[in-house]
Amino acid sequence: MRRALAVLLVCAAPACTVGVRRAASPSPPPHAPTATAPACDTAYAKPDPKRPVIRLAFDLDDAHARVTGTEHVVFTPDLPVTEVVFRLWPNGPASRANGARLDVTVMSLPPALSEGDTLLSLKLPAPSPAGRAITVDLDFVLTLPRSDTDRYGHTARTAWWASGHPLLAWVRGAGWAREPAAGVLGETATSEVADYDVTVTAPAGDTVLGGEASDLAPAPTSPDGRPSSRFHNALARDVAVAVGPFETRQVRVAGVPVLVAVSAELATGTDAEAVFGPVLENVTSALRSHATRFGPYPFPSLTVVALDAIGGAGVEYPGFVFVGSRRYDLVVPHELAHQWFYGLVGDDQARDPWLDEAFATYAEQLANDEEDRDLASLDARGDVGAPMTYWDRNRRDYGTIVYAKGAAALLSARDEIGAAAFDGVIRCYVAANAFRVATPADLARAFAAFPNVLTILRDTGALPKP
Given the rule CB under 5 A, which residues bind Zn ion?
A: 1-2, 357, 360
CA 383 to chain centroid, in Å, comes to: 22
* Cross-sheet strand order for the sheet of 53-60: 101-107, 134-143, 66-75, 53-60, 194-201, 228-236
The residue (of 357 and 371) whose beta carbon lies closer to Zn ion is: 357
Taking CA 125 as the corner, what is the angle to CA 122 and CA 131, rounded to the nearest 5 degrees? Answer: 85
Nearest approach, Cβ of residue 330 and Zn ion (Å) = 11
Rounded distance, CA 354 to CA 361, Å? 10
The residue (of 184 and 360) whose beta carbon lies closer to Zn ion is: 360
The residue (of 69 and 314) whose beta carbon lies closer to Zn ion is: 314
Nearest approach, Cβ of residue 194 and Zn ion (Å) = 21
Contact indicator for 391, 397 with CB cutoff of 8 Å: yes
Taking CA 284 as the corner, what is the angle to CA 282 and CA 290, rounded to the nearest 5 degrees? Answer: 90
Nearest approach, Cβ of residue 2 and Zn ion (Å) = 5
The residue (of 183 and 399) whose beta carbon lies closer to Zn ion is: 399
Coil/strand/helix, residue 113: strand
Nearest approach, Cβ of residue 1 and Zn ion (Å) = 4
b/e burial code for range 101-135 (CB count within 10 A of at least 16 → b): bbebeebebeeeeeeebbbbbbeeeeebeeeeebe
The residue (of 51 and 293) whose beta carbon lies closer to Zn ion is: 293
In 3D, which of 93, 107, 102 has the Cα closest to residue 181?
93
Nearest approach, Cβ of residue 340 and Zn ion (Å) = 12
Nearest approach, Cβ of residue 195 and Zn ion (Å) = 25
* Kind of pairing between the strands at 436-438 and 159-162: unpaired
The residue (of 2 and 96) whose beta carbon lies closer to Zn ion is: 2
